[in-house]
Amino acid sequence: MNLKIYLGMLRKAEQTLAESFRQVAAGHAAEPDVHFLCHTLATQCEEHSRLLLPVVQRYGEDPSDNEPERIHAEGLSATRQGPVGLLRDLQDLYLLASLVDVTWAMVKQAGSALRDRELLDVVSRCDGETAVQLRWLQTRMKQAAPQALVVAR
């Protein structure tokens, strides 16, 4: 069943997002809200991966499907600096979180078709939190953008 491809993608995407949240937390420690919340959200992502484990054990996971990766979402290798750097790092997190978000949506579709209550329970515990992660990133970016793009030196 091809669901295992998506389960693999989802676990990988959550892990990548967790690592990237931690990267941004470390790189932007001078922005305390970003610093502390990114740690909190990284923990959330790790918890999502953990909750997925029993489902993965049933279906298996295949992170290296045969489809070639057309765009690469390998996470942040390093953080940038300054106000525009913060904005761009948050924007990268937004892209990674979007990937997680849409992957949850597809896994939920498959779980519904399979009438797999356990999987659907996991989705309902996690996809709401991913949606809030996206909203927080957007809230924080919208706050930072005018200053970063208009007056920051």
Smallest gap from residue 107 Cβ to other proteins (A): 22
Among 14, 19, 31, 127, binds other proteins (CB under 8 A): 31
Tokens of 94: 């937004």
Number of H helices, E strands in the chain: 4, 0
Q: Does 120 bind other proteins (CB under 8 A)?
A: no
Among 70, 72, 115, 142, binds other proteins (CB under 8 A): 142
Q: For 43-89, what is the HEC assignment?
A: HHHHHHHHHHHHHHHHHCCCCCCCCCCCCCCCCCCCCCCHHHHHHHH
What residues from 65 to 104 belong to the interface with other proteins (CB under 8 A)? 82-83
Q: Does 32 bind other proteins (CB under 8 A)?
A: yes
Cβ closest to other proteins, residue 4 vs residue 88: 88
Tokens of 50: 């953990």
Stretch that binds other proteins, among 11-19, 63-71, 92-100, 142-150 (CB under 8 A): 142-150
CA angle at 120 for the pair 110 and 97, rounded to the nearest 5°: 80
Q: Does 109 bind other proteins (CB under 8 A)?
A: no
Place of tokens 């939920």: 108
Smallest gap from residue 59 Cβ to other proteins (A): 27
What is the CA 11 to chain-centroid distance, rounded? 10
Which residues of the chain form contacts with other proteins (CB under 8 A)?
Answer: 30-33, 36-37, 39-41, 82-83, 132-133, 135-136, 138-139, 142-143, 145-147, 150-153
